[in-house]
Amino acid sequence: MSTLKAISSMATRHVLAELVAAAHEAGHPDVEIESVGGVDAADRVAAGEAFDLVFLAQGALNKLADAGHVEKSTVAPLLLSQVAVAVPSDSTDPAARPSGTAYGSADGVRDALRAAKRIGYSTGPSGTALVKMIDDWGLSDELGDRLVQARPGVPVARSLADGEVDLGFQQLSELVGQQGVRILGVLPDDCAIDTVFSGAVAAASADPELAGGLLAYLQSGDAAEVKARHVFGVPSA
């Protein structure tokens, strides 16, 4: 059976690795996944690089589908990810709490942003959404160069652990289990940032039938336990 070639953003690399391993045990082909920054992944697919499967945030994948780079009919929501807040593990932030909901409300998040010396956020949709939220709150000028975007492919957790920032926002799945950070919780309901990650068969796939079969497995109930273990939810239909 052929080995399929796929590309994904960094945010889903761990869960996808386990999911495709489970799919292989269930009789699907091996998948070789290259995980890079989401923007870079989309650019490479748009440039015509040959892949069988593409795993990206829903919005980015829809743009690729509209441009004919992935098969629109195959776009499948797979993972629901929440943005969480974290601090360095040695932080004495009095608002730090066990994993749950950080700061309790949007007001608490705004206060934390104002108090932070340097604020780390990621590339990709969650970072874009955070910057927009900060702008909507009228805090862009006040925070200014205290906002530090991680380099593509570099997790915010590393910036926190290395002391480059003292408050960080990233997908919960990217923060769980990382050394040198303490998770305060996901963003409160009144300012939550949720991202749906989807998969699709690439227009350049050498074996779209095999790729589609594997994608169907990843969307099935058989994959739910792996998703939960990596703190991803299942998107609503």
- Residue 115 in contact with residue 103, Cβ under 8 Å? no
**What pLDDT score does 176 carry?**
87
C-alpha pair distances (Å), 200 with each of 19, 63, 76, 79, 133: 15, 12, 6, 13, 29
One domain for residues 44 and 87: no
Q: Is residue 12 part of a domain?
A: yes
Range of the domain at 126: 81-191
One domain for residues 211 and 140: no
**What pLDDT score does 99 carry?**
47
Integer Cα distance of 102 and 100 in angstroms = 6
pLDDT, one tens digit per residue, over 157-195 is: 999 999 999 999 998 988 988 999 999 999 999 999 999
Q: Is residue 236 part of a domain?
A: no
Strand ranges (E), 59-154: 76-88, 119-121, 147-149
**What pLDDT score does 10 carry?**
84
One domain for residues 21 and 52: yes
One domain for residues 89 and 184: yes
C-alpha pair distances (Å), 79 with each of 1, 13, 48, 192, 227: 27, 12, 25, 16, 7
pLDDT, one tens digit per residue, over 190-217 is: 999 999 999 999 999 999 999 999 999 9
pLDDT, one tens digit per residue, over 103-117 is: 889 999 999 999 999
Number of domains in the chain: 2
The better pLDDT of the pair 94, 60 is held by 60
Asked whether residue 98 carries a pLDDT value surpassing 60, the answer given is no
pTM of the model: 0.79
**What pLDDT score does 187 carry?**
94
Integer Cα distance of 68 and 107 in angstroms = 43
Q: Is residue 97 part of a domain?
A: yes
Percent of the chain with pLDDT over 90: 76
One domain for residues 87 and 175: yes
